[in-house]
Amino acid sequence: MVLLARRIEVNPLDRIGQISGLAGLQLRYALIVLVLLILVVITARVRWAAHAPTARRLTAAAAAGLFSGLVAGAILIALRGTSWGLFANYGDAGTLSDWAQALIDTGTMKDDYPPAWIHLTAWLSQLTDTAPDNLLKPLQIVGTALFGPVAYLAWRLLLSPMWALALGVLPAIVLIEPYKPYTTIMLVVMVPVLLALLRRLRRAGDTTWRGIVLPAIGFGLALGVIFLIYSGWFVWSAPGIVVAALVLFPWRTGWAKGLTLVAITAAVFVAVSYNHLFGLLDASGSVKDRYFYWDTWTEPTYIAMWRTDLPGNTGPWPPPGEIGGVGLFTILALIGLATAIAVARRRTIVITLTCVFAGAWLLRFHFGSQMYAADAVQLYPRSTAELLYCLLLLTGFAAYYGVRRFDTVARVRAALSSPSLGLGALVAAFLLLASAGSSIGDRYMPRVDNSLGILATASHLSVQPDGTCPAYNHTLGKGCYTKNHPRYHLALLELAELSDKLSVNRTNKPGELPHHRTEGDG
């Protein structure tokens, strides 16, 4: 999808150009999906039935990649004509680039921030003989494109292809974050890895020593790498994982093997992540996060949506709920939680996800309750993403284990294994992923309000590393500026005022960039 998006030629600083770009992506997506569905239909026929499982695996994996490819393609369109990534060298993007350059110059970096992304940027910078600033864009696009495939592969540790798509990828679509793609993708990977570890722990008594030692090394390596890429989710997950491990530990049937599994996993994890782990622990008492933004003013039990720190026009927030201020989506998610406990409360996955949710829930209010006294946020709103993800997963596993209860009923089992049911599920999944990918991609299209679209607008208003203005910068009529130039913020303000004026005349919505008619337009 990313390669196909490169052939879409539109002006991203024109709202009609943005819409045409998104429509072009959808056309390419639909044609690929059509080919995949034809393949599934053909292999469902009797003479090709032996190839049906392969076709389903291919289609499920392709669906995961096509979704994140749609989003990455939209980012490519949003940044068309500029060499900058989202937000140029401002904010976190600029900080990460500066840290990578400092790592190249000095060989060191601060130990309390996950080092993997910085080291990757620095290594690629030296490999390609280019400045870290020039790598922000390709890393954001590639990282976004990998979100779906990585999520799918991680959940294949536990689930069959179709269920990995349904439970691993679909709930994760709310988490994709192209600006810093390495953050939320690590949450999506960490959860199935931890679930696989705890499942192995629970079955330790019936496992050979070889089946204990080798997987323990693998789990330690995997968790160590995840921690080095982004460690924030370990903080929110730690209390729940400890409780789940104590509940699932084979105290009577294999305590020695269970202890060995935990010890080797922990030892390998510490060996891999030593510098960052202890740097993080050393800084925990002294580093304070004082970034108070709109979500820190939000009623603390609201977790139904994660909007980052650039929400745009949200209207009343949280959205008005129908039952005691609680919305229908949250109620359905809670019904899913209750159903998961009702049908599968003894299952490792349900026990672990419930414990992680409870632990993160308590930590959220612990940090939130201290905000006023400590005058520090400590990233407390970030727990929204993990709590929401756990609820969505529990809802999905309620359906999964509910369906498995009917495995012994021949008629139901036959209906569930029907090719028609699988085809219908794929069609629905493809349409959902198409709509979600387009909607998420649209959020990152250049805008001039307090939304994610401002990230791309900043990239088109900034002087490129080679000293030139971005290709479509002339569309805005404001010039391009070096970092922190006073005219930069004034240009954004003027563009926002123009957008608001045009919205009054119903030419476009507030924050959107206008359509620049070409000669001959009516």
pLDDT by position in tens, the chain (length 522) = 899 999 999 999 999 999 999 999 999 999 999 999 999 999 887 667 778 888 999 999 999 999 999 999 999 999 999 999 999 999 999 999 999 999 999 999 999 999 999 999 999 999 999 999 999 999 999 999 999 999 999 999 999 999 999 999 999 999 999 999 999 999 999 999 999 999 999 999 999 999 999 999 999 999 999 999 999 999 999 999 999 999 999 999 899 999 999 999 999 999 999 999 999 988 877 777 788 887 888 899 999 988 887 888 877 888 888 888 899 999 999 999 999 999 999 999 999 999 999 999 999 999 999 998 988 887 888 899 999 999 999 999 999 999 888 777 777 777 777 778 889 999 999 999 999 999 999 999 999 998 999 999 999 999 999 999 999 999 999 999 999 898 999 999 999 888 888 777 666 788 888 887 654 444
Q: Residue 198: CB partners within 8 Å, gap ≥ 6?
A: 241, 244, 245, 248, 348, 352
Q: What burial letters (b/e) apply to 411-428, b meaning 16+ CB within 10 Å?
A: eeeeeeeeeeebbeebee
The dihedral sign for the CA sequence 33, 35, 36, 41: positive
Enter the tokens of residue 170.
Answer: 């679909």
Q: What is the pLDDT of residue 392?
A: 97
Neighbouring residues of 264: CB distance < 8 A, sequence distance ≥ 6: 212, 213, 216, 217, 220
Most distant CA pair in the chain, distance: 82
Q: Nearest-CA neighbor of 175 among 262, 68, 286, 313?
A: 68
Q: Which residues, other chains included, contact 448 with Cβ-Cβ below 8 Å and sequence gap of 6+?
A: 454, 457, 492, 495, 496, 499, 511, 513
Cα 495 from Cα 469, distance rounded (Å):
17
Cβ-based neighbour number of residue 353 at 10 Å: 24
- In contact, 457 and 447? CB cutoff 8 Å: yes
- For the beta carbon of residue 97, count every other beta carbon within 10 angstroms: 23
Alpha helices in 129-254 (DSSP H): 136-145, 147-155, 161-163, 181-202, 209-229, 232-248
Residue 121: CA count within 13 A, CB half-sphere: 31
- Beta carbons of 89 and 133 less than 8 angstroms apart: yes
Task: Give the length of the chain.
Answer: 522
Condensed to tens digits (0 to 9), the pLDDT of residues 186-223 reads 999 999 999 999 999 999 999 999 999 999 999 999 99
How would DSSP label each residue in 462-478?
BPPTTSPPPTTGGGTTS
Residues 6+ apart with CB under 8 A from 474: none
Q: What is the residue whose two structure tokens read 């970096």? A: 109
Provide the 10 A C-beta neighbour count for residue 159.
18
Give the integer Cα–Cα distance in Å for 419 and 228.
42
Q: Which residues pair with 326 in a beta bridge?
A: 323
Going by C-beta distance under 8 Å and a sequence separation of 6 or more, which residues neighbour residue 445?
12, 18, 22, 74, 77, 78, 453, 456
Quick one: pLDDT at residue 380? 81
pTM of the model: 0.94
Given a contact cutoff of 8 angstroms between Cβ atoms, the answer to whether 180 and 227 are in contact is no
Give residue 379's pLDDT: 80
Residue pair 392/306 in contact by the 8 Å Cβ criterion: no
135: helix, strand or coil? helix
